[in-house]
Structure 1
Amino acid sequence: MKRWTFMSVIALSLALSACAGDPAPVPDQAPPTSGEQVEQPAKATVQDITPEEAKERLDSDEAIILVDVRTKEEFDSGHIEGAVLLPVDQIQKNAVDMFPDKDAVYFVYCRSGSRSGAATSMMVELGYQNVFDLGGIMDWPYEVVQ
């Protein structure tokens, strides 16, 4: 009886090893063809920018949209020249209408940097690709207009 058990184990082992070849492809997944690359869209991230870097870029011929996310009263009391007002609480509702180009470069600022952080995150979630957090106008060492 021991011999029969030993032979059964060997036969079973051979049968199982014969089935251990390459697994069949999963029907829902086509194997990639050689040379074919599947590109995943890169999700944008918020980038920080210093006032000095921002000023240099704003003074160049580069097309930049400067967004002030403070209240109208704060904006009227002084803002960076060329800035467009879009209060942070209106971004979800109005950003896409005001700024349809999601590939443009946006510099976003507020008073101290808190709202600009929230605003830039919202813009990235809305699909904007080149969003820079300039922080607060309190740290802007250059002239402002009223």
Structure 2
Amino acid sequence: MRTIIIYFYLNYHAIKSRGSGGKEAVCLLRQPPGGLIYNQKMKKYWILSLSSLLILLLGACSGNDHKSYKSVEEMVADAKASVTFISAQDFKKKVESGEKYYLIDCREAVEFDSVCIKGAINIPRTVLEAQVSDKAPKKRNTVYIYCNNADKAILAASVLPEFKYAHVKVIDGGLDAVKAKFPELIELNPVRDGAKSKAPTPASGGCGG
């Protein structure tokens, strides 16, 4: 016959109020031929302790799922920690390398219609979740995403992994950085059907929405 002694270190005051004298609570479990015998009082304490812990854990998870922010800046700062960046210089190298990729401009349509990076697909942040799978169906391809200065793109990039895009990079500095350093990659007044813009090899096939 085997005896298992389990020490439960419960709240001192809770045990003392029930006449335990502040001693450690001990639960003896024996397994004789007749079956398992255990201290019912300690079983109650054990169940209550587990229930309380479960409630706390569920509450913590719920809080994380519905995190609130005091400002857009705070939201961007939080999302920034989870995304990967690529510099304008390194992006230009990717363009010249012939790599297959998607280039997403997540600004609003009126901004895109004025100027964009050659080869970009316009998917505004406000409709990203609804349109990205249709406009960028090959989810193994790398996705480069930008806005004017990168803030909106950071928020968009933090969402894309939920849609199974494994390789997502934000162009650091956004359109402003590319336009300042490599104006040859910029197109003014792009045509959405891609007739005017001829990017080297983006998977999307041209600058258009």
Q: TM-score range by the shorter chain?
A: 0.5 to 0.7
Aligned counterpart in structure 2 of residue 52 of structure 1, from 58, 74, 89 = 89
> Unaligned stretches of 5+ in structure 2?
5-81, 189-209
Aligned counterpart in structure 2 of residue 99 of structure 1, from 117, 124, 136 = 136
Contact 1:47 1:132 survives alignment (8 Å): yes
Q: Normalising by structure 2, what TM-score?
A: 0.48
Q: Deviation per CA, 1:50-78, whole angstroms, max 9, x where unpaired?
A: 11111101111111111111111211221
Contact 1:70 1:110 survives alignment (8 Å): yes
Residues 1:142 and 2:163 aligned together: no
Contact 1:46 1:124 survives alignment (8 Å): no
AA aligned to 2:3 is: L
**Aligned residue for 2:113?**
76
**Aligned residue for 1:124?**
161
Contact 1:63 1:105 survives alignment (8 Å): yes
User: Shift of the alpha carbon at 1:114?
Assistant: 0.8
Contact 1:72 1:85 survives alignment (8 Å): yes
Q: Deviation per CA, 1:33-64, whole angstroms, max 9, x where unpaired?
A: xxxxxxxxxxxx63211111111011111111
What's the C-alpha RMSD, in Å, of the aligned pairs? 1.8
> Unaligned stretches of 5+ in structure 1?
1-13, 18-44
| 3-state SS in 2 of match to 1:79 | strand
> In structure 1, what is the Cα distance between the partners aligned to 2:168 and 2:97?
18
Q: Normalising by structure 1, what TM-score?
A: 0.67
Residues 1:87 and 2:138 aligned together: no
Aligned residues: 107
**Aligned residue for 2:100?**
63
Q: Deviation per CA, 1:100-139, whole angstroms, max 9, x where unpaired?
A: 1111111000001111001111111221111111132111
Asked which structure has the greater RCO (Cα within 8 Å, sep 6+), the reply is 1
